[in-house]
Amino acid sequence: MSRIIYRHSVIALAIGALSLATLPAAQADAVADALANYKTQGAGTFDAQAGARRWSENFTDAESGKPINCASCHHQDLRKPGQHIRTLKPIEPMAPSANPQRLTDVKKIEKWFLRNCKGTWARACTPQEKGDFLVYIQSQ
């Protein structure tokens, strides 16, 4: 009996240690992979300040005719939750420091860059712009 309990707690500890260890590592890996891809697509040095500037650069929303930027849905302060301007659904904070799930999956990052750049800027973001956003978001 006690051996079973012991075994369970060892497994629980191992799982706990694993999840603690993998989250930040997954984040670093996903961002590093994405940045390496952007370099092969012609991007230069990435600049968090450029990412910060573009985060709140206003465009005109084709649907509403109102100004729109990344912060319209995600909040200006990346550590705070946002709200979708159309569905009004809450959006979890973008900053990895406030939300460890962020920037852990290259496919998810690319999927949302594609959608959000088109939805906000009415065009795809360039590899340089995406990399600037990632280093900015990661720094928050």
85: its two tokens: 């301007």
- Number of residues assigned to the chain: 140
Among 92, 114, 123, 124, binds ligand HEC (CB under 6 A): 92
Minimum distance from residue 13 beta carbon to ligand HEC (Å): 29
Here the contacts of 121-124 (C-beta below 8 Å, separation 24 or greater) are 121/59, 122/59, 122/62
CA distance 140 to 108: 19
Among 139, 113, 118, CA closest to 41? 113
Looking up tokens 């009004």, which residue turns up?
88
- Beta carbon nearer to ligand HEC, 74 or 128: 74
Q: Is 113 in the site for ligand HEC (CB under 6 A)?
A: yes
Judged by CB under 6 A, the residue of 34, 78, 109, 135 near ligand HEC is 109
Chosen residue from 95, 120, 127, 131 binding ligand HEC by CB under 6 A: 120
Contact call for residue 78 and ligand HEC (CB under 6 A):
no
Which positions lie near ligand HEC, rule CB under 6 A?
68, 70, 72-74, 84-85, 91-92, 102-103, 108-109, 112-113, 116-117, 119-121, 133
